[in-house]
Amino acid sequence: HRWYPVPMAPPMAADALGRARIELSELLEETRWCEAADVTLIETAGGLCSPIAHDGDNLKLIERIAPTKVVLVADAGLGTLNAVRLCLRALGAMPTVVFLNRYDEQSELHRRNRAWLASEGVTTCVDIESVVEAL
């Protein structure tokens, strides 16, 4: 029931479609956990500060869930360092792995971004296998 047929942040889509407000507490109550699972993935969309509810963004949701590790998916090209650094500041002490999406080893910019992040102590992955290892 949380699917919206318009390409907008969920609270904006709910408003545009005349649906009920989305409260962060409701999203948390609707989330089902398998206690026996070794890994549980919760995917957000739109970026860390994108609203997921009328009263909270993805960062608030992550803070309330209190995961053992966060996977931050970031573009590998221009703007990567700024976007990753801002997100890491917002996430604070939460252990975070950065996945550079669409990473191209042939791109000097992609290689330099990855190297710079690594030099700053950021766990950076460029393929799913390394993300799984990091988790």
Q: Tell me: the pLDDT tens digits for 90-125?
A: 999 999 999 999 999 999 999 999 999 999 999 999
Ranges 14-18, 41-45, 81-85: which has the least confidence: 41-45
* Of 133, 70, 84, 92, the residue nearest 113 (C-alpha): 84
Integer distance in angstroms from the first to the last C-alpha of the chain?
30
- The CA distances from residue 42 to 14, 20, 87, 109, in Å, are 21, 23, 17, 30
Look at residue 45 in the predicted model and tell me its pLDDT.
83
Instruction: Please check the confidence at residue 33 and state whether its pLDDT lies above 90.
Output: no
Answer with the residue of higher pLDDT: 81 or 42. 81
Instruction: Please check the confidence at residue 39 and state whether its pLDDT lies above 90.
Output: no
Percent residues over pLDDT 90 in the chain: 83
What's this model's pTM, rounded to 2 decimal places?
A: 0.88
Q: What mean pLDDT value characterizes the chain?
A: 94
The letter for the amino acid at 65 is: I
Strands 96-101 and 123-125: parallel
List, for residues 11-24, the tens digit of each pLDDT value. Answer: 999 999 999 999 99
Which tokens in the block code for residue 37? 């699972």
Return the residue matching tokens 């990473």.
Answer: 103
Q: At what angle do helices 80-91 and 108-119 cross, to 10 degrees?
A: 30
Look at residue 63 in the predicted model and tell me its pLDDT.
95
| φ, ψ dihedrals at 33, nearest 5° | -115, 140
